[in-house]
Amino acid sequence: LYIIFLIIFVLFTNNFYTFEQTLILKQHDGLSYMNIANYSYNFSEETLHYHHAQRFYLPYLIGLLGNTFNIDNYFIFRIFVYLSLLIILFFHSMIVFQSKCNLKTAIITTSLIFLNPYLIRYFIAVPTMVNDIFFLLSLYIFMYGLFKKNFYIILGTILALISRQTGLFLYIGCIFYLYKNKMFKEIFYITCLFVIILYLSNFYAQNTSTTGFNFKHLWGLFFSIFEKDIMYTLKWLLLPLYGYIPILIYFFTRKNVFYKIITTEKIILIFIFLATVGVSFLAGPDMSVRNIIRQTVIALPILSIFLMYYSESNNNKNNFLIYEKLLLFLIFISSFHPVYSNIKMIESLKKIINLYY
């Protein structure tokens, strides 16, 4: 019931932008995905960034549906976001029940994910970023399969590979899991799928992009460190804290986070989290700008569920201590993003601070 309350809360306090409004907000990745959808019977007639074109699968499918049934593509983008959200809710609930954590832990960890202003709020406000919410969905399916030790780990990997390039890290985690369990036939099958997905991604990108892959996405940070003002780079490196402050506070309220027993599941989750966050920094401030916040926060559910599974509360009772109530209050307040939420509390606080200082 609490998770349903959270979704209703987010929906009633969220902004819902038109496609044109998302472009005014400089969400230009969505323009590439809309172009893919609009020209779904062929290659996009608009020149695309190579790394955007590589993610053509979902926008192409959306375009096929929209153009076939004469439905506005933006509307279908929004439907895909809502369907993804419903499936995420299902798998999140399954993972919470399976973890057997107490009610208090379930409430806080669920709030950390669903009230983060750069996750669900963002996808509802900017539905053209459907690839990102599908990657989030793939993380949930992957984690569910990892904990249940079933084929969902493979399904999650496939969804991740067609969503974002960072699906590579789930593929590596999946291969490690299958190898540890001596599932060599499955390794062969999923590797064949990986090669096919990679080939088609590059085939589409080569026919819609004139520039090729911009490798500055992999070394822009080092250029910034050595060629730009160090404070400029340092400020940018700290930007992801906007999305991680509540969960970092929660981290220090838990115990036995680094319990000595090392399991395959722990290794895989830590690897995927660090790799997904780490690769986001490689592009550097000139390429990522403030997008680094949402690019890194996409991995937050891994950390939240890791804490739920592998750590304990300092107070195992279901009653909330004062600092836990304050943390939950902070999570709710921080969810009121000045752009994605229709509650302008943070903007009002800034005006009050400027008035007195």
**What's the pLDDT tens digit per position in 268-326?**
999 999 999 998 888 888 777 888 899 999 999 999 999 888 877 766 667 777 888 89
Q: What mean pLDDT comes out for the span 317-340?
A: 86
The structure's pTM equals: 0.92
**What's the mean per-residue pLDDT of the chain?**
88
Q: What mean pLDDT comes out for the span 75-104?
A: 93
Tell me how far apart the alpha carbons of residues 266 and 311 are, in angstroms, rounded to a whole number. Answer: 12
Q: What's residue 354's pLDDT?
A: 47
Confidence grade of residue 347 (pLDDT, cut at 50, 70, 90): low
CB 254 within 8 A of CB 298: no
Residue with tokens 């060629």: 227
182: alpha, beta or left? (left if phi > 0; alpha if psi -120 to 50): left
Nearest to 155 by CA among 166, 165, 143, 147: 143
Confidence grade of residue 349 (pLDDT, cut at 50, 70, 90): low
| CA atoms lying within 13 Å on the CB side of residue 42 | 3
| CA atoms lying within 13 Å on the CB side of residue 46 | 14
Q: What mean pLDDT comes out for the span 18-24?
A: 93
| CA atoms lying within 13 Å on the CB side of residue 225 | 8
Measured between alpha carbons, how far is residue 133 from residues 7, 82, 123 in Å?
15, 10, 7
Higher pLDDT, 76 or 249: 76
Q: What's residue 348's pLDDT?
A: 55
Percentage above 70 pLDDT, the chain: 92
Provide the total of helices (H) and of strands (E) in the chain, helices listed first: 21, 2
Using the predicted structure, report yes or no on whether residue 210 has a pLDDT greater than 80.
no
